[in-house]
Structure 1
Amino acid sequence: MILAPPPTLTISEWADARRRLSSEASAEPGRWRTERAIYQRGIMDAISDPAVESVVVMSSSQTGKTEVLLNTVAFHIDQDPAPVMVVMPTERDAETWSKDRFSPMARDTPCLHGRISDPKSRDGSNKILHKKFPGGHLTIVGANAPSGLASRPIRILLCDEVDRYPFSAGAEGDPVNLAKKRTVTFWNRKIVLVSTPTIRGASRIETAYAESDRRRFFVPCPECGEHQTLVWEQVRWDREADGAHRPETARYQCRHCGAHWSDAERWAAVRRGEWRAEAPFDGIAGFHLNEVYSSWVRLEAMVRTFLSAKDHGDEAMKTFVNTSLGETWVETGEAPDWQRLYDRRESWPAGTVPMGGLFLTAGADVQKDRIEVDVWAWGRGLESWLVDHIVIEGGPEHAAAWSALDGLLGRSWPHASGVAMGLSRLAIDTGFEAPSVYGWARRAGFAQVAPVKGVEGFNRASPVSGPTYVDATAGGKRLRRGARLWTVAVSTFKAETYRVLRLERPTDEERAGGARFPAGTIHLPAWADSEWCKQFVAEQLVTVKTRRGFQRLEWQKLRERNEALDCRVYARAAAWIAGADRWGEEKWRDLERQVGSLDPRDTAAPETTASDPGTPEIASAGLVRRAPARRGRRVFTPSYLS
């Protein structure tokens, strides 16, 4: 018997011949057809091309980029066995991808049967995150797991949603670079980076695409035949005489002859398209796609999404630009005017929590001669109120300063409803005298205290990562992994702060008529002085050029002191760590019941009932029923400075 070598196929040819789509992961189960989204052929063939070492795909959602990665994995299991690694943003994402995407494909694609062991086998060759097959293996890891990224040599590296990766895999550094190091022993390695982009100047996929040959997909006009890229600016729709939009009339307009294309004509044009590079090829093939090319999206749906994003502000529009247009969002980094903040301060009793506040967090900034703390109340939509500003005199070398901070953890602030509220979480910066901070946090307890380390850069999907374990000192003894450290993408929260400071607020008349403040609104009290307001907007976001000529975003100080902004960032990180960004309606309702602040205008809300102060729910929110007592601003002065 003569064994013939496997047929010479590209990944797209293999997929057309052998791949089967699963009903769990596709609206069109059955045989794979590359012609359904023809632009995928160029991407898959580039991965198959021996001359291409790296492939970069900067794309919107709904373009099938995950299916391209699945085809690549299946091709190498069936045709070209090799060590393969798939890197997802988190370990949870890795498990989800394995269970929901890979396993159905392996089950429903006949040529893969028998190549991957039965998941019920006892030899451990088919685990959720590690699967063996003849001649190779598949490892699926999260970018937040340094041990997984550095575990074994890899020839085929597939990185999905790289803009959602943390800035550092633990303390090991950039996860993409860590993963790339696994490929250095293979002369025929292949590195594939895929992602929806995020923020201009801070997007991994944008930087990688800029270093590629920058291919774009050109399609011919059904009328004039001129080739062009499909862009959102050429989408047109009608409006009524009263200005009302009519998304159902959406069509694409040729930029050359002005002809209007229906969805069917647009899809037909895409099937006749071709990839064209804008820069010389030097081993890196780059591809850019937006949702206008998608065979699964109608322009009417895109227009409706766009109009909804316009109505819901910058955050919604950023999502549209990233996930529908496949483009980076340009942050507005100009600092708001401090005088405007000062002029629109509001009056409520000093040191008290207004009715909308549902839980408290604090941010602590450690300086050489003091510790500054700002306490913030948070409500629905992460609307926030500055409740207290505290200065603890004396630096971290003084035990009395830490004792004063201990006292703050046990302190309560009166809520407008009569409930006394304690801190749910305090985030403290470790940038100055980190060992002292770790030691204090360990003594105070990590349930309420979160040591944080700020890193530059943006990460909207996961602006806080961790915790990782670091060494701490207790009683003069060094304890390995004795403290927990959270990493905070400070640029994300600074940009968010500036964005919500610019929100338009309802007038007094509109509020009297039932209008509410927009989600995220920041309320400042009358006691916040001009110095604090200046510190709150003491930085601006600027674009700088790197040595390699690329652009990146960087926060630069406008004033020497910026403690108010830093404390806000840490308090916001504390709210993230507490889970506020992920709470559902039931959680918010529960908090409202505990503080007795259900909005009387909400007819669906149940009647407010007094809660037992001993219940776990109240303890978790830091709430205690107690007679209200007014408190003004507090400045802690340790006894040794008296």
Structure 2
Amino acid sequence: MNAAAKINARDYLEIYQNPEAHRVSLKHLDLFIGDQAFQAGMNSILNTTLQIPPFKPMEEWVFENIELANNKSTRPGPMRLTVYQREVALAINDPNVRQIVVAKGVQTGYSKFIKALYAYTVSYLALNCAIVNSTKPDAERYYKDEIAPMYKEVMALKRLIRKPLKGDVHDTGYEQRFANGVNTYIRGAYTDDAFRSYTTWLNIGDEVDADGWQPRANSIGSKIEMFRDRGTDFYDSKLLIGGTMGLTHRSIINAQFLLGDQRRLHVDCPHCGTQQELRWGQKKDANGKRPEYGFRWEINEGGFVVPGSTHYQCDSEEKCRITQEEKYAVH
């Protein structure tokens, strides 16, 4: 039993009535060393635990959190954004940009970029997100092939998967509710119902020039405008629409692209440093001659592309050859 436990009520009364007789001096104690240790401990906490971590832009977060498998990519390992994807990612992180339009070619990795953006928005930004494909079957396929596998492969998302309790709303391929309070929606654009009854910060449209995005006879208006309205509860909401352009006169992508600043993708050659617009370079002139710049490849006798022959011909006097392996050094 310690000394403090032996003090009874009468002792407390005596101390209360005669405090001077029981006063203890601490002048002989040196508290300097203890104070130093306390200050050092507090400074350590302030500089580590209590520090707000620096904001991670999308490109950095994706590289750290998304791993591409051998059976799903020709470049397995940490996901690295390509040059055009980096520009879109920068626009996503720019608070002054509200709408992004991507007029693209085929097989440029746009769908893969979308799923990475989805994971970043849900798990890091913790904001509601919607992805709208052309039709309901397209939406179902995209969910099964691209989104659902991430719930097992991307740990940042896997940790947020709920286990619904009795009475809770269960998740489906069209609506997902996460443990951090984020809701996501995947829809097909064919009917106007795809743009009702949800509120989202990020709204992503894929293959916007496909028929599903065209207004039907009973549509109440532009589907792009209805989609944009899903974000009006957020002062800084984002609308990202992209796709391969179809016929110019009915192209939604072209019309929306012309409303923006109409940026073209410019890159620096990793060899000579010449800045140039990245162009296909296959269109022949009146004499049937192709330009000296652009994408090039060789075809063998069987009609197949010769492995390793694909490259980009630089638009400079040096006519540098930018290979497949060097494309990640292009900025």
2:274 alignment counterpart:
226
Indicate conservation of the 8 Å contact 1:89/1:160, yes or no. yes
Report the Cα distance in structure 2 between the residues aligned to 1:93 and 1:198, rounded to whole angstroms.
18
Q: Does 1:113 align with 2:170?
A: no
TM-align CA RMSD? 3.1
**Whole-Å separation in 2 of the counterparts to 1:29 and 1:80:** 25
Do the aligned partners of residues 251 and 17 (structure 1) sit closer, same or farther apart at CA in structure 2, a change above 3 Å counting? closer
TM-aligned CA deviation for residue 237 of structure 1 = 6.5
| Amino acid in the other structure paired with 1:215 | R
Map of 1:68-467 to 2, 5 A cutoff? 68-118=113-163, 123-133=168-178, 134-164=180-210, 165-168=212-215, 171-221=219-269, 224-233=272-281, 234-235=293-294, 248=306, 252-257=312-317, 259=319, 261=321, 263-264=323-324, 267-268=325-326, 270-274=327-331
One-letter identity of the residue aligned with 1:137? N
Paired residues of 1:144 and 1:175 also in contact (CA < 8 A): no
Q: Retained in 1: the 8 A contact 2:59–2:86?
A: yes
Cα distance in 2 for residues equivalent to 1:98 and 1:9? 26
Q: CA deviation at 1:20?
A: 2.5
Are the equivalent residues in 2 in contact too, given 1:53–1:190 (CA < 8 A)?
Answer: yes
Mark the CA change 1:175 to 1:45 in structure 2 (over 3 Å): closer, same or farther.
same
Distance verdict in 2 for CA 1:237–1:173, change over 3 Å? same
Deviation string, structure 1 residues 345-381 (Cα, Å, up to 9, x no partner): xxxxxxxxxxxxxxxxxxxxxxxxxxxxxxxxxxxxx
Amino acid at match of 2:202: I
Aligned mates of 1:193, 1:11 — CA distance in 2: 18
Q: Distance in 2 between matches of 1:16 and 1:166?
A: 32
Quote the residue 1:626 is aligned against. Answer: none
- Using the TM superposition, give the Cα deviation of residue 113 of structure 1 relative to its aligned residue in structure 2, in angstroms: 1.7
TM-score normalised per structure 2: 0.70
Equivalent residue for 1:427?
A: none
Q: Deviations over 1:234-253 (max 9, x none)?
A: 3457899xxx9996466543
Does residue 20 in structure 1 map to residue 67 in structure 2? yes
Change in 2 beyond 3 A, CA 1:18/1:253: closer
Q: 1:24 to 1:159 in 2, by over 3 A?
A: farther
Equivalent position SS for 2:249: coil
Give how far 1:74 is off.
Answer: 1.0
Q: Distance in 2 between matches of 1:145 and 1:263?
A: 44
SS at match of 1:177: helix
Any conservation in 1 of the 2:102–2:242 contact (CA below 8 Å)?
yes
Check the 8 A contact 2:269/2:330 in 1, yes or no: no
Instruction: Check whether the contact 1:162–1:194 (CA below 8 A) recurs between aligned residues.
Output: yes
Amino acid at match of 1:135: G
**Does the Cα contact within 8 Å between 1:219 and 1:272 map onto a contact in 2?**
no
Query: What is residue 31 of structure 1 aligned with on the other side?
Result: 78
Secondary structure at the aligned position of 1:79 is classed as helix
Secondary structure class of the residue paired with 1:45: helix
For 1:82, what is the secondary structure of its paired residue? coil
Q: Distance in 2 between matches of 1:12 and 1:239?
A: 35
Aligned CA distance change for structure 1 residues 161 and 222 (closer, same or farther; 3 Å):
same
| 1:259 shift after superposition | 2.2
Aligned length: 266
Equivalent in 100, 115, 129 of residue 55 of structure 1? 100
Q: Decide which structure has greater strand share.
A: 1
Residue matched to 1:11: 58
For residues 122-156 of structure 1, what are the alpha-carbon distances to aligned partners after superposition, in whole Å with 9 as ceiling and x for unaligned? 83342111001123200111101322311122221
Q: Which is greater in Rg?
A: 2
Shift in Å, 1:45: 1.8
Q: Secondary structure at the match of 1:219?
A: strand
The 3-state SS of whatever aligns with 1:163 is: coil
Contact 1:22 1:104 in 2 (8 A): no
Q: Secondary structure at the match of 1:184?
A: coil
SS of residue matched to 2:130: strand
Q: TM-score, normalised by structure 1?
A: 0.38
SS of residue matched to 2:264: strand
Shift in Å, 1:196: 1.1
**Structure 2 Cα separation of the partners of residues 250 and 32 of structure 1:** 22
Match of 2:34 in 1: none
The equivalent of 1:306 in structure 2 is: none
**Residues 267 and 276, structure 2, Cα contact 8 Å, conserved in 1:** yes
* Aligned mates of 1:72, 1:210 — CA distance in 2: 24
Work out the CA distance in 2 between the residues paired with 1:127 and 1:237: 44
Tell me the CA shift for residue 43 of structure 1: 1.1
Question: Structure 1 228/119 Cα, relative in aligned 2: closer, same or farther at 3 Å?
Answer: farther
- State the Cα deviation string for residues 557-609 of structure 1 (Å, max 9, x = none): xxxxxxxxxxxxxxxxxxxxxxxxxxxxxxxxxxxxxxxxxxxxxxxxxxxxx
Unpaired runs of at least 5, structure 1: 275-642
CA contact (8 A) 1:154 1:182 kept: yes
The one-letter code sitting in structure 2 at the alignment partner of 1:220 is D
Q: Cα offset for 1:76? A: 1.8
What is the CA deviation profile of residues 472-524 of structure 1, one whole-angstrom value per residue up to 9, with x for unaligned ones? Answer: xxxxxxxxxxxxxxxxxxxxxxxxxxxxxxxxxxxxxxxxxxxxxxxxxxxxx
Q: Following TM superposition, by how much is the alpha carbon of 1:108 offset from its aligned partner in structure 2, in angstroms? A: 0.3
Is the alpha carbon distance of 1:123 and 1:39 closer, same or farther for their aligned partners in structure 2, counting shifts above 3 Å?
Answer: same
Q: Is the 8 A contact 1:82 1:155 kept in 2?
A: yes
Give unmatched runs, 5+ long, in structure 2.
Answer: 1-44, 282-292
Whether the 8 Å contact between 2:122 and 2:128 is mirrored in structure 1 is: no
